[in-house]
A and B are shown apart, each in its own frame.
Chain A
Amino acid sequence: MSQIHVSTTVNGDAVEFLCEPDETLLTVLRDRLGLTGSKEGCGSGDCGACSITIDGRLVCSCLALGAEAQGCEIATIEGMAEGENLHPLQSKFLEHAALQCGICTPGFLVAAKALLEKNPDPSETEIRYWLAGNLCRCTGYDKIIRAVMDTAEEMKAAKS
């Protein structure tokens, strides 16, 4: 089986890799590019721990193929902070103790960021439905939802 050559952009960096035709983008990110921040919780798109964006669209990277990344802009948890400065969501997750074990946290952050970019003023219900594709077994979601609501408030205030 011959491998496929892919040129893409990951967190703003130009990246090239070879992958098998049936290799998932998650495997490429984790095993070929060393970006292990995206996690494999299920491999079937049910848990959201591998959430990334491709050209700004939120996807489960376990359901995308590495070969599909050709020419795309990929964003992962590793690219969320800008230098030393955490994204407001990252800071709020820490402040609200919105993580216990932390395995689902990268996926939640990527998904929540995608939400706030689309809808800067979501209701609690909108947040709960948007994040329904991300499983957390530790927190009962309470502190996660509060952290996202608080971030939205703060980002709104910063803009006005």
Chain B
Amino acid sequence: MNYQSEVSPDARKFKSIGTRPLRPDGLDKVTGKARFGADVSAPGMLHGVILRSPHAHALIKSIDTSKAEAAEGVHAVVTRADFGSDFDNPDVMDNVMAGKKALYDGHTVAAIAASSEAAARKALKLIKVEYEVLKGVTDVDAALAPDAPILHEDMVPDGVDPAPTKPTNIAHRHEFGHGDVDKGFKEADIIIERSFKTEAAHQGYIEPHACLATLGSDGRGELWCCTQGHYYVRELCADLLKIEESQLRVTASEIGGGFGGKTTVFIEPVALALSKKSNRPVKIVMSRNEVFRASGPTASSSVDVKIGVKKDGRITAGFANLRYQGGAYPGSPVEFGAMSAFACYDLENVKTVGYDIVTNRPKQVAYRAPGAPMAAFAIESVVDELAKKVGMDPIEFRLKNASSAGSKSSYGPTFSDIGLALTLETAKNHPHYSAPLGPNQGRGVACGFWFNFGGQTSVSLAVNADGTVGLSVGTPDIGGSRASLSLMVAEEMGVEYEKVRAIIADTASLGYNDVTDGSRVTFASGIAAIEASRNACKVMCARAAKTWGIPEDAVVWEDGHAKPAGSNAGDFKPMSLVEIAANASSTGGPIAGHHEINADGAGVSFSTHLADVEVDPETGRAEVVRYTVFQDAGKAIHPSYVEGQFQGGAVQGIGWALNEEYIYDNEGRLQNPGFLDYRIPVASDLPMIDAVILEVPNPGHPYGVRGVGETSIVPPLATVANALAAAAGIRMTDIPMSPPKVLKAIDEAK
């Protein structure tokens, strides 16, 4: 749908949109009443625990559960043998419960439900698994070596010509671009070629995965879980448990962070299987160790970049070869890395090649703008070097090459109105860019891009007799979306924000809703909420028309009132929503609105980040001392939560840049599965994060909204690396830029 006429400047003056009211779920969250995944129990509930492979790569020869089954307090034990075969999602099944092979340290092998967690843990030790340990591989480049251990004997990559005759660890090959890069490099005065690596980072949500499941022998079940998408959970569990979707009612708990990591299932099908076998409710809560070892971090990457430039600063060609490992199954986000790598630049000649590679690590799961930060790190680092080489200011250099309306994007389609240049111009003129730097400090800049999408959404709302509005949405609220959606309903219906009560409905209550991901909720659920409001207003106009005895189309909805469309329609006093609602019973019954869509037109998103980094030359510790985010939000519905997305994404990126990494030993065992050794940023690591909201309206949304959740994690890796280069004269190509690596680089540069 195109809302161009509605988003044009001065098309409307907003009353609610752009204000910063308190969030509807706020009180519960500051008083401890909000119920997250692990916060509920059921009568007769059992506790489920999981046996995990200690080996990175091993054949499972046999599993003997007899002693565990006989142990005190144990009510059920499940292994892969308790699941069927022929799944629509075979990799999801195999990841949830290992089949013939354990493919990574922490891979689920069996599970127990017992009357207490202690009894279940005791019984875990009684399960005898016979493994044949195989050689494993966890590094992305090592997985491509000719003698690398092969994870899947049937894996022959697609997209490779000619197709290999032997199995490899490559699942897919992708290629994007246009023009002739060889010709472009010939035209260049300066060419820089560099290779980069990034380690896997975990989404690091503070709430471990948790669920409470009930499934009877009649195939009917209920599931409570923390997830970004309870409809998708239902779809996957129905497939894995061989039950009908209508018989499984899934309720999304409050969710304690996700960032992409809660967009699939891990423990939910296991809890359902244990519940079915024991005929009791079963609760499973992951430990932090399990979260790190067996839920998805993002991919690690290895990227080669080559960019050519004329002396005047015009880029003549860009090339990147990207290799991402996505853990033990296909699905690393390398295609998004390859598509987005050069999206910020208007290039005549550009080519990217991406390889999706498997290794003996947990199956990667989406992490905020999946695949883009690693690519941006590589490209934006080289762009920074090129700007220096040609003697241009890094922002001027980017502006000279920046994509704008009409540019053919590096992944194909041509851009319409985009905000990249605006973010760069605003950064250039911001006080941060000209502020003096202290000793050992340097300033860095980098840009980022993300696609955003819309997706399937179903929203329903009801006008209550007292003039309040109940809003039911099916996209879990992960960062304040109940507030932003309520604001849109309030705006559209002309009621106060406080009169709208938004809830996240369960899977039995609405049509299908895609997962809360892709920065889509304020955009897509927003469209549906606005259209549902418009439907309800139409009903209210009809009620007023009937009451006045005039045609329905002679009544319009304005400022919370039904009004005659003009003097010809008759002279009637506007009828308020409260009045219409109070008389609903007498005028035709309940008043409601609903809307279902598969939204397109999400509108791409760009941002520019500025960082000042101070490096301690004695220890190699890099500290971010000032940080500013400039991002196009289209239209900020609730500016506080838009700023929150900018700030949160930036800090996740800073953590990835400086500290966070998966560390494996030679046997493929994760060495740092805890928050002490996998170090996410803490308050004392950081300065305030300034957030500058820019608004280039998106014609795909009635108010001009663009998703804002993901783009903010794309630039920080390069922003920090570029600042570090300016501060210490070292070009770091290996993420994270942890103190030992930085110190080594400083020593080598001496």
Classify A-B as touching or not with yes or no (CB < 8 A).
yes
Interface residues, chain A, CB within 8 Å of chain B? 20, 30-31, 35-44, 46-47, 49, 76-78, 80-81, 86, 90, 93-97, 99-106, 109, 125, 127-129, 131-146
User: Would you call the interface of chain A mostly helix, strand, loop, or mixed?
Assistant: loop
Q: Are B207 and A36 in contact (CB under 8 A)?
A: no
Q: What is the bound-complex CA distance between A103 and B257, given in angstroms?
A: 8
Q: What is the bound-complex CA distance between A90 and B550, given in angstroms?
A: 52
Q: A140-B648, A143-B640 are known contacts. Are A81 and B31 too (CB-CB below 8 A)?
A: yes
CB distance from B367 to the nearest CB of A (A): 11
Q: Are A134 and B683 in contact (CB under 8 A)?
A: yes
**B373 on the A face (CB < 8 A):** no
**B318 on the A face (CB < 8 A):** no
Chain A residues lying within 8 Å of B254, measured Cβ to Cβ, are: 101-103
**Which single member of A37, A39, A139, A142 contacts B33 (CB below 8 Å)?**
A37
**B23 on the A face (CB < 8 A):** yes
Chain A residues lying within 8 Å of B643, measured Cβ to Cβ, are: 97, 142-143
Q: Are B208 and A100 in contact (CB under 8 A)?
A: no
Chain B residues lying within 8 Å of A142, measured Cβ to Cβ, are: 643, 647, 688-689, 691
Chain B residues lying within 8 Å of A136, measured Cβ to Cβ, are: 206, 683
Q: Are B206 and A137 in contact (CB under 8 A)?
A: yes
CB distance from A158 to the nearest CB of B (A): 19
**Which single member of A38, A41, A141 contacts B651 (CB below 8 Å)?**
A141
CB distance from A142 to the nearest CB of B (A): 5
Q: What is the bound-complex CA distance between A77 and B39, given in angstroms?
A: 14
**B453 on the A face (CB < 8 A):** no
Chain B residues lying within 8 Å of A90, measured Cβ to Cβ, are: 30-31
Residue among A31, A37, A95, A109 with max Cβ neighbours from chain B (10 Å): A37
Q: Are A140 and B689 in contact (CB under 8 A)?
A: yes
User: Would you call the interface of chain B mostly helix, strand, loop, or mixed?
Assistant: loop
Chain A residues lying within 8 Å of B285, measured Cβ to Cβ, are: 40
**B362 on the A face (CB < 8 A):** no
Stretch binding the partner chain, chosen from B502-510, B568-576, B672-680: B672-680
Q: A101-B257, A103-B207 are known contacts. Are A140 and B36 too (CB-CB below 8 A)?
A: no
CB distance from B36 to the nearest CB of A (A): 6
Q: Are A137 and B680 in contact (CB under 8 A)?
A: yes
Q: Are B648 and A137 in contact (CB under 8 A)?
A: yes
CB distance from A44 to the nearest CB of B (A): 6
B563-591 near A? 1/0 per residue, CB < 8 Å: 00000000000000000000000000000
Chain B residues lying within 8 Å of A40, measured Cβ to Cβ, are: 38, 208, 285
**B478 on the A face (CB < 8 A):** yes
Q: Are A144 and B683 in contact (CB under 8 A)?
A: yes
18 contacts between A and B (CB under 8 A): A44-B288, A47-B288, A77-B31, A96-B640, A99-B26, A100-B257, A101-B254, A101-B256, A102-B256, A104-B206, A129-B683, A137-B203, A137-B680, A138-B648, A140-B681, A140-B686, A142-B688, A145-B688
Q: A137-B257, A140-B647 are known contacts. Are A132 and B207 too (CB-CB below 8 A)?
A: no
What total count of A-B pairs have CB within 8 Å?
182
Chain B residues lying within 8 Å of A35, measured Cβ to Cβ, are: 32
**Which single member of B32, B36, B647 contacts A143 (CB below 8 Å)?**
B647
The count of chain B contact residues (Cβ–Cβ below 8 Å) is 59
CB distance from A68 to the nearest CB of B (A): 19
- CB nearest neighbor in A for B258: A101
B1-39 near A? 1/0 per residue, CB < 8 Å: 000000000000000000010110111011111111011
Q: Are A132 and B30 in contact (CB under 8 A)?
A: no
B681-695 near A? 1/0 per residue, CB < 8 Å: 111111011010000
Q: Are A46 and B32 in contact (CB under 8 A)?
A: no
Chain B residues lying within 8 Å of A104, measured Cβ to Cβ, are: 206, 256
Q: Are B683 and A97 in contact (CB under 8 A)?
A: no
Q: Are B207 and A101 in contact (CB under 8 A)?
A: yes
Chain A residues lying within 8 Å of B688, measured Cβ to Cβ, are: 142, 145-146
CB distance from B701 to the nearest CB of A (A): 22
B541-559 near A? 1/0 per residue, CB < 8 Å: 0000000000000000000
Q: What is the bound-complex CA distance between A132 and B686, given in angstroms?
A: 10
Q: Are A39 and B256 in contact (CB under 8 A)?
A: yes
**B644 on the A face (CB < 8 A):** yes
Q: What is the bound-complex CA distance between A126 and B419, given in angstroms?
A: 38
CB distance from A35 to the nearest CB of B (A): 7
* Given A37-B33, A103-B256, 11 further pairs, Cβ under 8 A: A46-B674, A93-B26, A93-B30, A94-B22, A101-B206, A101-B256, A101-B478, A129-B683, A132-B684, A136-B206, A139-B648
